[in-house]
Structure 1
Amino acid sequence: MNLRDFKINIPDESIEDLSRRLRATRWPAAMDADQWDDGASLTFMRRLVEHWSDRFDWRAQEARLNRLPQYMATVDGQDLHFIHQPGNGPSPMPLVLTHGWPGSFIEMERVIPLLADPGAHGGDPADAFHVVVPSLPGFGFSAPPASPGMSAFSIAGWWVKLMNGLGYERFAAQGGDIGAGVSTWLARCFPERVIGVHVNYIPGSYRPPLGPGSPPVTTQEQAYLDTAAAWSSSEGAYAAEQATKPQTLAYAMTDSPAGLAAWIVEKFRAWSDCDGDVERVFTMDELLTDVSIYWFGRMLDASFRIYKENRLRPLTFEASERLATPLGVAAFPRELPTPPRSWVERVFNVQRWTSMPRGGHFAALEQPQLLVEDVRAFFRPLR
């Protein structure tokens, strides 16, 4: 594995181009500029773009992110960007953290020090992890896939090679959103390498075996299936587009920073525990740092296409399959529809299930301390 140091350094001309595009934004009309029922609020988006154009300092964000120990590795010809923070404790456990969409590696910025150096943050040094945070292919600063087929299943194989290249033969995994899919594929395909898996989201493509020989669907499980179907009907248009025609969508988002911001920030508001006010949870600068990483990366076709690849390679199981790898679940109340424990236990070896008091889809950003405490507790008996 070819490994080298990495620092973010966006060219001045790219920043100037973004500034020009923001100033030239063509705004749509809206029947009610303040409401979010039809999508991103026009009033909010005008304010967000004004902040992006006039007050947001990318260079300051870049300098902060460059304090993280970042690297680039070439794995089977694929360039992967990642953070590698060695742990500080008597015997740190290797842990790979995987983000999702519309997040990025910066989702993990707050949890990295808590996991790597618990003793410096009020925790027990015995809970330390060697923390590895890769950027998904086509996200952030990882190169886009060169050919079709790059699903969560494929990425799990790359993560094994990355971790092995760093000297970690066995390791733990944690993730949400697409990262939960990668983590569960690790448990399924590489049980000898994976100590345990902790997730804060159950992949939407997960389907346990049903029918002859399987227990009937319970009332609680059917309620979940009904809720998930209703949610998909009312909120799932973004996923349907990204999973079917990602290239068409990429033209608009690659050309319009305001359009890209609306597409992403609307999800941060809808999926977080913010009670309709996204700024209760995220600052403008936090939102725009994430959006800017997508903008400067110029790989939107790839970051959308992973939905299509995951649709073509869903997480479905045979009737006799049962996974032995320990699984921990942190269930946050404002997460996307979450199945009951029984639904997950049809396949997975669930050893911990925690109903969280607050938080949503972006757990590492919204409630880093709560997430870290659950990760520590889950892996403690597996050390």
Structure 2
Amino acid sequence: MSQQTSLPNQPNPVAASTAAAALNVPPAGLAQAAEQDAIRPFRVDIPESEVAELKRRIKETRWPEKETVADESQGVRLKTIQELARYWADEYDWRKIESRLNSYPNFITEIDGLDFHFIHVRSKHENAMPLLIAHGWPGSIVEQVKLIEPLTDPTAHSGSAADAFHVVIPSMPGYGFSGKPSTTGWNPQRIARAYAELMSRLGYERYAAQGGDWGSIVVNYMGTQEPEGLLGIHTNMPEVIPPDIDALIWSGSPLPDNLSAEERKACEQVRENRFGYAIVMGTRPQTLTGLVDSPVGLAAFMIDHDWKSHAMIARSFAGVKEGLSPDDVLDNVSLFWFTRTAISAARLYWEQTVAGNSFFATKGVKLPVACSVFPDEMYVAPRSWAEKAYPNLIHFNKLPKGGHFAAWEQPEFMISEIRTGLGPLRKSL
């Protein structure tokens, strides 16, 4: 891509005045971009030639034969991915999400030798709570944009000034417009330390952190690391499975007889998902090179995350309006495509596997924790386990609707949960 694309390490002066004002930093600060801790304004601007090339590649896709089953048990069905491709090539407009992303102040700063891209929107309300919101895979900052305005401007979105947040949404290493690690070691624990440094660099002395998917894992590690200023965390993918039970789940061994019905169901749900994508990325991420070459191959791989969200996405491309829309899905896949991050993002799973870390087992968080449990999550966290995993549990709620991509699918519920769940921490600001 050309410099006009505004890739990391390429500060764009067009956004300087607006972005610098959001941090109360004069535009002249751009001259200090070479400094290690400089915060550089950033603007998303994908060249039209890249957009045209994407559509060309979609239209030249070589298709496989139809699946030999009448359901999704073999993966993404041919009719689903062909409809996705048709819509992507003929109707989808990347410029809509690009414009929306650019409507917020975007920045890049170097932390621990790597560029971190982030959105930073300050509330107009004086006593707003600073909040870092962390995304996961196959997500990106696109997942959280529906939260920004209601959280930062609650009085315009059925809330009060007491509900206000300053919002910071970073792109994970290897994702979106953040830098791509060129060496090993960028695991969730290291990302957690980098996120704490980001909040400190932004001048936030007290703040909370929120996350789902990898974002939940990262903010849980922030909770165990207890960086100065972190008041507590909110998770919509609670990591509450006892380590001994977690080991039995993944090994396929029989489960103990003393589990409650709710606990046993949670174990069965984890096994039910199988996590084929995680196994491939966790062991052979570089083998997925074709995802950087084929947009349709990339899309098929990304939408087959867990069977419930996959089914919802398939329904959306069949004309059913619920949860994610076709535009929502393609905004995210397109971001991965334009930034060529399929492999760099996948390596996070390899880092997790090499470290021998678990996705869902308890992490030992002692700080205050708020949990929101959505019914179509990969497993429904039992309260009995949550109370043991998080001894300082300040909020636990089961929602009536929503799944793994809660902020994206059900933003109203997530906004309410963040406001309510983190409310008790405001007294510590």
TM-score, normalised with respect to structure 2: 0.81
Aligned sequence identity (%) = 37
Corresponding residue pairs, total: 375
Contact kept, 8 Å, 1:177 with 1:203, in 2: the verdict is no
SS at match of 2:232: strand
Q: How does 1:1-383 map to 2 (within 5 A)?
A: 1-31=37-67, 35-190=71-226, 192-203=228-239, 207-208=242-243, 218-220=259-261, 223-224=264-265, 226-232=267-273, 235-249=274-288, 251-267=289-305, 270-271=308-309, 274=312, 277-278=315-316, 279-280=320-321, 281-313=323-355, 314=357, 323-348=365-390, 349-383=392-426
Contact kept, 8 Å, 2:373 with 2:397, in 1: the verdict is yes
SS at match of 1:369: helix
Bigger drift between 32-41 and 236-245 goes to: 32-41
Q: Tell me how far 1:219 sits from its aligned partner.
A: 2.8
Distance 1:154 1:347 in 2: 22
Stretches of structure 2 that go unaligned for 5 or more consecutive residues are: 1-36, 246-256
Residue identity opposite 1:97 in structure 2: I
Q: Tell me how far 1:352 sits from its aligned partner.
A: 1.0
Q: Tell me how far 1:272 sits from its aligned partner.
A: 6.8
* Deviation digits for residues 146-200 of structure 1 (CA, Å, limit 9, x no counterpart): 2111111110000011111100122100010000001100000025431111000
Distance 1:18 1:34 in 2: 31
SS at match of 1:71: strand
Q: Tell me how far 1:268 sits from its aligned partner.
A: 7.4
RMSD across aligned positions (CA)? 2.7
Distance 1:199 1:53 in 2: 36
Change (3 A) 1:322 1:269: closer
Bigger drift between 173-182 and 338-347 goes to: 338-347
Contact kept, 8 Å, 1:272 with 1:362, in 2: the verdict is no
Distance 2:293 2:48 in 1: 18
Residue identity opposite 1:363 in structure 2: A
Distance 2:298 2:77 in 1: 14
Distance 1:350 1:261 in 2: 38
Change (3 A) 1:345 1:191: farther
Q: Tell me how far 1:302 sits from its aligned partner.
A: 1.5
Distance 1:372 1:197 in 2: 15
SS at match of 1:110: helix
Distance 2:410 2:71 in 1: 27
Contact kept, 8 Å, 2:313 with 2:324, in 1: the verdict is no
Q: Tell me how far 1:263 sits from its aligned partner.
A: 1.0
Residue identity opposite 1:258 in structure 2: V
Distance 1:378 1:270 in 2: 25
Paired position in structure 1 for 2:27:
none
Q: Tell me how far 1:217 sits from its aligned partner.
A: 5.9
Distance 1:189 1:257 in 2: 38
Paired position in structure 1 for 2:32:
none
Stretches of structure 1 that go unaligned for 5 or more consecutive residues are: 211-215
Change (3 A) 1:33 1:255: farther
SS at match of 2:389: coil
TM-score, normalised with respect to structure 1: 0.90
Q: Tell me how far 1:69 sits from its aligned partner.
A: 1.4
Distance 1:347 1:305 in 2: 28
Change (3 A) 1:323 1:290: closer
Residue identity opposite 2:268 in structure 1: T
Distance 1:229 1:59 in 2: 38
Bigger drift between 191-200 and 326-335 goes to: 191-200
User: Following TM superposition, where does structure 1 have runs of at least 4 consecutive aligned residues deviating by more than 6 angstroms?
Assistant: 316-319
Distance 2:418 2:192 in 1: 20
Change (3 A) 1:381 1:269: same
Q: Tell me how far 1:72 sits from its aligned partner.
A: 1.0
Paired position in structure 2 for 1:213:
none
Distance 1:137 1:303 in 2: 7
